[in-house]
Amino acid sequence: MVSKGWFIPYIKENQKLFALVLFLGSIAVFSASLLMYTSGFLISKAATRPENILMVYVPIVAVRTFGISRSAARYAERLASHQLILTMIEKMRVRLYDMAERSAKQTKLGTGEMLGLLSEDVERLQDAYLKTIFPSIGALLLYAASIGALGLFSWPFAGLMLLYMALLVFVFPYVTVLVNRARQIQMKKGRNELYSHLTDAVMGVSDWLFSGRQKDFVDGYEQKEAQLLALEAAKHRFIRLRQFFAQLIIGGAVVLVVYWSGSVVQSGSMPHTLIAAFVLVLFPLTEAFLPLSDAAGDIPVYQHTVSRLHHYEKQSYEGESKKEFVDQSIISHDQAVCFEQVSFGYDAHQHVLKHLSFSLKQGESLALLGKSGAGKSTILKLLEGAVVPNQGAVSIQGKPVQSIQENVSAYVSVLNQQPYLFDTSVLNNIRLGSPDATEEQVKEAARQVQLHDYIESLPEGYHTGVQETGVRFSGGERQRMALARILLQNTPIVVLDEPTVGLDPQAERELLQTIFRVLKGKTVIWITHHLTGCETCDRIMFIEDGHIEMQGKHQDLLRENQRYQRLYEMDRPFSTI
């Protein structure tokens, strides 16, 4: 269950500080207005022969007072508002980090999308207070107060200005929302996509380098960026047009005030020294009203941000609620890995796995095949405890995965398609498998994966720098280095997540031979798309539409299953059955 919203609860928790910010902001604007009003009176009065020197001296003191109070109030308001924002954002970030941790386990959040939540969306929440909530409330209070003050002189004219200035306070903001709503949301989504695209591409930079498709990435990114810039340009064109008409309205307001004040002076109801005062006071008032349009224009962006946060938070809590009690009676305690009637789906409408059951004994190897989206990667996530099944149980050595999730790396290690190598020495990269390993143990692991002689031939041997993502090494060498890590990690279960993707046939064959030789005695689950080398495994299992389509030993399937025969023929066209 989602606990609370992203605005009102935090305002209630800090209502005193929130009220102080509004009070100081109002003081700053009222001081600016009274400064201009007094300045106008002083200019007019000084241009005539005053009845008393106090008629000039008092306004001079008032101008200085209001000038100082405006600056002091504005400074204090900035300090208080930033203190308020930092206090609220601190709590929001903690809540967001907790939510992101749960969402990462329950949803298909990419790295870029996750970082977007943690950076841009929080920044939007901050802008909502600083650029929309505080200025809007202050401007509306000033609008009401200025109309009320004008009513002391003339209620009919105050009513006219109420309607006229409503163009700036209500109509322009409303039109801005109508015109820019779709554009703003599209820009927000575009920025999120660009952020995710760039971040994920950086994480997989070696893929682009080795595939020779750097230009494709740059061209695609620039194309998306050009679309975003076109939307930005259209937005700014509208803003310039809106500002032009806003200035016309302000000019019209000046004309109205001059005409009204002149007619009142002629009737003898008001001294002529107040004409300039009323005209000048318009400028700080309209200066407070103009940002309302920009503030309202950002509301769709804030709504989209809050909608994203609510969506992921709701899913994270739904995922937590699905962590049902694991029935220990259905768990097999003599199996290294056991999936018992496991069903799982990323949403309530579509299940990736449906009542899946299989088990592996210690030392047994399994080749897991299936087309993309069949559920192979989901099985890996379930085994790692990254997601939990909607139904059934997953256990490792008789223990529910949920109960060992914090220490799952002691049970399961993974050799994936692109193992990450850090910009440090070869020795340190291999030692990541066991930080306490000695240099001799690291070298022994390298010998087992047939990498020791090559490393020794490097200029600095095991102390040679790898460079970021290991770009100085070939794909096969990076995989062998990662395999040496796994040997040091020494887990009873090893998952091979298509480790030979991108390798040439000879490098693939040699790497597979090395993998199965050094992992002998461990439980191995090999996720793959094709049958090359699968005969090495004790068992082969095909996943299709979330369930086991066929399974068995290679020779048995080859002899008894016609579909397997056809698949094997297509994958190994020159083999003899």
Q: How confident is the model over 172-183, as pLDDT tens digits?
A: 999 998 888 888
> Is 576 a member of any domain?
no
Q: Which of 42-46, 530-534, 548-552 is least confident? A: 530-534
Distances (CA, A) of 270 to 149, 274, 275, 382, 405: 15, 7, 9, 82, 80
pLDDT of residue 159: 93
> Is 1 a member of any domain?
no
> Is 577 a member of any domain?
no
Please determine, for residue 77, whether its predicted confidence score (pLDDT) is greater than 50. yes
Q: Report d(CA 436, CA 430) in Å as an integer.
A: 11
Highest mean pLDDT among 139-148, 183-192, 268-277: 139-148
pLDDT of residue 249: 94
Domains in the chain, number: 2
Residues 240 and 342 in one domain: no
> Is 138 a member of any domain?
yes
pLDDT of residue 259: 92
CATH number, domain containing residue 438 = 3.40.50.300
282 vs 188, more confident: 282
Span 310-323, mean pLDDT?
64
**pLDDT tens profile 474-497:** 778 888 888 888 888 888 998 888
Residues 283 and 366 in one domain: no
**pLDDT tens profile 423-437:** 888 888 888 888 888
- Pairing outcome for strands 391-396 and 337-344: antiparallel
> Is 2 a member of any domain?
no
Residue showing tokens 């504005």: 74
Residues 71 and 207 in one domain: yes
Q: pLDDT-based confidence at 76, cuts 50/70/90?
A: very high
Residues 412 and 388 in one domain: yes
pLDDT of residue 403: 80
Question: What is the percent of the chain with per-residue pLDDT over 90, rounded to a whole number?
Answer: 11
Please determine, for residue 158, whether its predicted confidence score (pLDDT) is greater than 90. yes
pLDDT of residue 205: 55
Residue showing tokens 């109509």: 171
Q: Are 563 and 369 a contacting pair, CB within 8 Å? A: no
Q: Which of 240-244, 418-422, 426-430 is least confident? A: 418-422
What six digits make up the tokens of 524?
């191995």
Residues 28 and 65 in one domain: yes
Span 322-329, mean pLDDT?
45
Q: pLDDT-based confidence at 207, cuts 50/70/90?
A: low
Residues 102 and 211 in one domain: yes
Span 151-180, mean pLDDT?
91
Rg (CA), the chain: 35
Residues 293 and 411 in one domain: no
Q: pLDDT-based confidence at 161, cuts 50/70/90?
A: very high
pLDDT of residue 213: 65
pLDDT of residue 201: 62
Residue showing tokens 């209630």: 12
**pLDDT tens profile 17-33:** 989 998 998 888 888 88
Q: pLDDT-based confidence at 199, cuts 50/70/90?
A: low
**pLDDT tens profile 347-374:** 666 778 888 889 899 889 898 888 877 7
One-letter amino acid at 477 equals: E
CATH number, domain containing residue 271 = 1.20.1560.10
pLDDT of residue 576: 42
Considering 281, 316, 351, which residue would you say is the last residue of a domain? 316
Q: Which of 307-311, 410-414, 555-559 is least confident? A: 307-311
Q: Report d(CA 513, CA 449) in Å as an integer.
A: 10
341 vs 507, more confident: 341
> Is 236 a member of any domain?
yes
Residues 254 and 151 in one domain: yes
Q: Are 56 and 46 a contacting pair, CB within 8 Å? A: yes
Residues 285 and 359 in one domain: no
Please determine, for residue 106, whether its predicted confidence score (pLDDT) is greater than 80. no
**pLDDT tens profile 269-280:** 888 888 888 888
> Is 72 a member of any domain?
yes
Span 152-164, mean pLDDT?
92
Residues 184 and 133 in one domain: yes
pLDDT of residue 330: 44
Q: Facing residues of 119 across strands?
A: none
- Strand runs (DSSP E) across 350-502, as ranges? 353-360, 365-369, 391-396, 399-400, 412-415, 493-497
Q: Are 412 and 384 a contacting pair, CB within 8 Å? A: yes
157 vs 198, more confident: 157
**pLDDT tens profile 371-413:** 877 788 888 888 888 788 888 888 888 888 878 877 888 888 8
> Is 346 a member of any domain?
yes
Question: First and final CA of the chain: distance in angstroms?
Answer: 57
Residue 419 lies in domain: 329-571
Considering 260, 286, 316, which residue would you say is the last residue of a domain? 316
Span 409-419, mean pLDDT?
84
pLDDT of residue 116: 66
551: nearest Cα among 565, 560, 541, 537:
541
pLDDT of residue 109: 57
**pLDDT tens profile 4-17:** 778 888 888 889 99
Considering 248, 281, 316, which residue would you say is the last residue of a domain? 316
Please determine, for residue 208, whether its predicted confidence score (pLDDT) is greater than 70. no
449: nearest Cα among 415, 481, 414, 425:
481
Residues 210 and 71 in one domain: yes
pLDDT mean across residues, the chain: 82
Q: pLDDT-based confidence at 243, cuts 50/70/90?
A: very high
530: nearest Cα among 368, 353, 379:
368
What six digits make up the tokens of 11?
């305002």
Residues 487 and 555 in one domain: yes
